[in-house]
Structure 1
Amino acid sequence: MKKLIFILCITATLISCSTKVQQPNIVFVFADQWRAASMGYLGNKDVKTPNLDQLASEGVYFTNTVSTSPVCTPYRAMLLTGQYPLKTGMFMNDIRLNPASNSFAKLFKQEGYNTAYIGKWHLDGNGRSAYIPKERRQGFDYWKVLECTHSYNNSTYWGTDDKLHNWDGYDAEAQTKDAIAYIEEQSKSDKPFTLMLSWGPPHAPYATAPKEFQDLYENVDIQLRQNVPEKLAEKTKAILKGYYAHCSALDSYIKQLQDAIKRSNIEDNTIFVFTSDHGDMINSHGETKKQRIYEESVKVPFIVKYPALLGKEGKKSDFLLNTLDILPTLLGMSGASIPENLDGENITEVILGKKEDDRKASLVACIQPFGQWNRSRGGKEFRGIVTKTHTYAKDLNGEWLLFDNIADPYQLNNLIGNPDYNSISKNLEALLAEQLNSLDDAFLTGPTYVKKWGHQVDSTGTVPYKW
């Protein structure tokens, strides 16, 4: 049976009251490698995302959402556990999250929820196509998952029946249809549900979206970000056409999900989230992929819609939301118990305007460079912060980057060493130290942490994987 929860509300005269509401359902949808700069509602005039634009007009959309460690496995581990990577050891791809973790689905099951996960997992470290047994599924009961694949038109998954199956056609579309079937079935139940839908696109390969979405960009003159080198302009335009085709395909599935929720008469009492694990450089600054602290890598979209609590009119928030805030906030919005050992903050009252936004910075970290940004490709350990006006980072040698993101939105001018910014640099360094101290991060070398957690890496510092 669905429980009733109590939400505390504060009136203008500081008189408190409590309102009974039904436990909300949660539909959490996230894409892989979708940067905030590639959203219509955030100002991109080329990408076609009408349904996400509509979702933003009905929910709360954040303009300063930061991926705390902008790469797949570390993000996903933080999403599920609410803990910083140095506390879980999950700071590289292709390693296993401790099966005993007190994570997302387990916490919601304690509150009486049914739990489901569909799509990309990337938290088991047992081979990218390998079977993941029930005891390593982190409490998710309904299960249609593969560790990792980017073969979007020839994709498999392990089902709740412990058998290997094929997704029909473009996997994100098939996964969405399955999610819709789950939503419709669960809407008939007396129990609330949580569903995580994890899409592989728009991560490369870029030119593999369904043809109808590729055709949307065939004759479009793509506008490039001003930090893309001229010599890479034509190559980048071609990449973006494929990237945007994936984005538009996923956007169309957002409408299908929203329509299903409305048909099932659960819209008001469903928390619907859309976001991404990290961004994609796509040749900005001449760089590719993720792990960097540049805007294209670290800034992601985040929209939350929950009419029963947040109303039905869209709101814009510049709060410095980070990955660690997601779990405590979803627990808080649901009236659920929040473990004391989480590293983020329940920002529900900030969203509702009942608590002052006093956050000054969000942390970004690369604990061990690996894979697509290993040391031979310029990768390095860093710790940095993003504020509403600046980006600041240190590497193991000291101050590394400082950007004024208002005067220089494409981060073309590194201000480290500029005497006009000495006081700003000192203030940001103090903010960074405060963040690291709060998380017990001593900022040691990557190999130090690799050794501590017993990860087996190759000569590039990367955990090898097998298909």
Structure 2
Amino acid sequence: MHKKQPNILYIFGDHLNPVALSCAGNSDLETPNIDRLAQRGVRYTNAYCTHPLCTPSRASMITGRLPSQLGITGFETDWKKEDLPPTLGRLLRDQGNYRCGWGGKWHISDHSLEDLGPPEPSDQDFGFERICGLDDNHLPEACARFLQVDDPRPFFLVAGFDNPHNICEADRNQPLPWGEVQDVPVDEYPNLPQNFRPSTGEPQVISLRRAQAQNQAVTPYSEERWRRYRHQFYRLIEKVDAQIGQILDALDESGLADDTVVILSSDHGEMNAAHQLFHKQVLYEESVGVPLIVRDPADTRRGVTDDQLVSIGFDLLPTCCDYAGVTPPAGLCGRSLRHEGVDSSSSAREVLIAETRLNNACEARMVRTPRFKYIAHRWGENNEQLFDLEDDPGEMINLAVEKRHANTLQKHRELLAEWCRSTGDAYAKHYTHPGHAAVPGVGWVELSPDRLKV
């Protein structure tokens, strides 16, 4: 049982695929340290990011807002310090008296966090002390030093790893920043995924993305090349799993583990050859899905899974605020994942939204319901997708092209329209209709004026 205000340790990777873990049943790699965290807590099997790209997703994590509401839809941001909304670090530091530290990868903006040392408290900083720069190899040691500091305040420590993002460098035959991956004979490479082929009725914008990526490839993408890619990706995950283990060991050795909630996730996933795609940005499960494990010493649940719809972008902030006894900002979409010892299934989320911007031009939205996933792309042929994730978890059959699924399709279109209407999400906006979103099968959706700037 932890104290009233527990310590909070948030560990997250970059590109960590939700099913690329041995605790998720994947036999192509071993992740003993992530597995032991899952054995001590709850693993969420339907967890998503808000936008499968590093900078937008990370901005969402620390604000609880959709990246498009923040004006962040790519690597470049127009996030001015004077427009900075309340951030997770600032909320816990200023209202909860937490000692907040951030180590490792930041990748949100170039503002105050990049300065060494604790920031001067203000409404224009992020609220974190920088304990370590971008360095996976030294991050565990920096976290251990942070844990050894004698301070009466509870702590909120973020450990942001770069890996397994190095799959991007590996794919381009570049040196790997945190150590190379040993190659093996071809017959030891993992096999191709069951959903290696493109889905039926694939949107034009995804086909274009695949063609552009493969045209720019250093070497052609044969099946052997794809299998080598998967081998490299899994070895990078094993590398970061070992480093995560060092942090968990340091927590145990500090004597603080019984008073510390540990959360593990990622900023987004990695396609890892599914649908013959790599990296992120698309709204397929491998890309928009993330691992999420919560180990709360006060929660009696151990080694269980929870299939409710959750979002690391929407839910991290209210969850941490709940543990810290801090009131989150009004108007956020997220909810706390803190378990109060009662059945929460009746209040489980029925609809979850995510967004992306493909090829630096085409907006898209995901509407996830308990059984189905709907994806709308702003332009192109076959710009809608509908998948029955119970019958088709690999997202191979696009039901949006079949008349017999028209009612389900229209229901999800209406859910997207209601989301846009109630939150001010100007999806697919057009200069001819300011203050409106454009939803397939619904048309122009007038947005609530008081929600246009959240």
Q: Same fold (TM over 0.5)?
A: yes
Q: Which residue of 2 aligns with 1:39?
A: 21
Kindly state the Cα deviation for residue 412 of structure 1 after the two structures are TM-superposed: 1.3
Note closer, same or farther for the CA distance 1:218–1:432 as it changes in structure 2 (3 Å cut): same
Does residue 82 (structure 1) correspond to residue 82 (structure 2)? The answer is no
Kindly state the Cα deviation for residue 328 of structure 1 after the two structures are TM-superposed: 0.5
Q: Which residue of 1 aligns with 2:86?
A: 102
Does residue 383 (structure 1) correspond to residue 365 (structure 2)? The answer is yes
Distance 2:115 2:323 in 1: 34
Q: Which amino acid counterpart does residue 226 of structure 1 have in structure 2?
A: Q
Distance 1:202 1:173 in 2: 13
Distance 2:369 2:68 in 1: 22
Q: Which amino acid counterpart does residue 102 of structure 2 have in structure 1?
A: Y
Q: Which residue of 2 aligns with 1:184?
A: 148
> Does structure 2 conserve the Cα–Cα contact (< 8 Å) formed by 1:324 and 1:343?
yes
Distance 1:96 1:121 in 2: 16
- SS state of the match for residue 163, structure 2? strand
**Equivalent residue runs for 1:418-429 within 5 Å:** 418-429=402-413
> Does structure 1 conserve the Cα–Cα contact (< 8 Å) formed by 2:147 and 2:251?
yes
Q: Which residue of 2 aligns with 1:122?
A: 107
Note closer, same or farther for the CA distance 1:265–1:232 as it changes in structure 2 (3 Å cut): same
> Does structure 2 conserve the Cα–Cα contact (< 8 Å) formed by 1:61 and 1:302?
yes
- SS state of the match for residue 258, structure 1? helix
Q: Which moved more, 1:280-289 or 1:173-182?
A: 280-289
Kindly state the Cα deviation for residue 257 of structure 1 after the two structures are TM-superposed: 1.4
Q: Which residue of 1 aligns with 2:248?
A: 258
Q: Which amino acid counterpart does residue 36 of structure 1 have in structure 2?
A: P
Residues matched between the structures, number: 394
Distance 1:432 1:333 in 2: 31
Distance 2:197 2:383 in 1: 25
Q: Which moved more, 1:296-305 or 1:429-438?
A: 429-438
Kindly state the Cα deviation for residue 335 of structure 1 after the two structures are TM-superposed: 2.1
Distance 2:191 2:76 in 1: 35
1:226 corresponds, among 187, 190, 194, to 194
Distance 1:264 1:20 in 2: 15
- SS state of the match for residue 52, structure 2? coil
Note closer, same or farther for the CA distance 1:103–1:402 as it changes in structure 2 (3 Å cut): same
2:303 corresponds, among 296, 310, 314, to 314
Distance 1:325 1:64 in 2: 13
- SS state of the match for residue 226, structure 1? coil
Kindly state the Cα deviation for residue 349 of structure 1 after the two structures are TM-superposed: 4.5
| Cα RMSD (Å) | 3.0
Kindly state the Cα deviation for residue 20 of structure 1 after the two structures are TM-superposed: 9.1
| Structure 1 unaligned regions, length at least 5 | 1-18, 147-170, 449-467
Kindly state the Cα deviation for residue 177 of structure 1 after the two structures are TM-superposed: 1.4
Q: Which amino acid counterpart does residue 191 of structure 1 have in structure 2?
A: R
Kindly state the Cα deviation for residue 42 of structure 1 after the two structures are TM-superposed: 1.3
Q: Which residue of 2 aligns with 1:200?
A: 162
Does residue 415 (structure 1) correspond to residue 392 (structure 2)? The answer is no
Q: Which amino acid counterpart does residue 326 of structure 1 have in structure 2?
A: L
**Equivalent residue runs for 1:39-438 within 5 Å:** 39-99=21-81, 100-110=84-94, 111-125=96-110, 134=119, 137-146=125-134, 171-185=135-149, 188-203=150-165, 204-206=168-170, 208=176, 214=182, 220-229=188-197, 232-308=222-298, 310-311=299-300, 313-322=302-311, 323-349=313-339, 352-354=342-344, 356-366=346-356, 368-369=357-358, 373-375=359-361, 380-397=362-379, 400-438=384-422
Instruction: Output the TM-score relative to the length of structure 2.
Output: 0.79
Instruction: Encode CA deviations 1:201-238: one digit per residue, 9 max, x unaligned.
Output: 11122373866964799873302212224964211111
| Structure 2 unaligned regions, length at least 5 | 199-220, 433-454
Q: Which moved more, 1:435-444 or 1:410-419?
A: 435-444
Q: Which amino acid counterpart does residue 303 of structure 1 have in structure 2?
A: I
Distance 1:274 1:218 in 2: 32
Instruction: Output the TM-score relative to the length of structure 1.
Output: 0.77
> Does structure 2 conserve the Cα–Cα contact (< 8 Å) formed by 1:84 and 1:439?
no
Q: Which residue of 1 aligns with 2:216?
A: none
Distance 1:219 1:56 in 2: 31
> Does structure 2 conserve the Cα–Cα contact (< 8 Å) formed by 1:117 and 1:143?
yes
Note closer, same or farther for the CA distance 1:276–1:415 as it changes in structure 2 (3 Å cut): same
Distance 1:143 1:258 in 2: 17
Kindly state the Cα deviation for residue 294 of structure 1 after the two structures are TM-superposed: 0.6
> Does structure 1 conserve the Cα–Cα contact (< 8 Å) formed by 2:2 and 2:297?
no
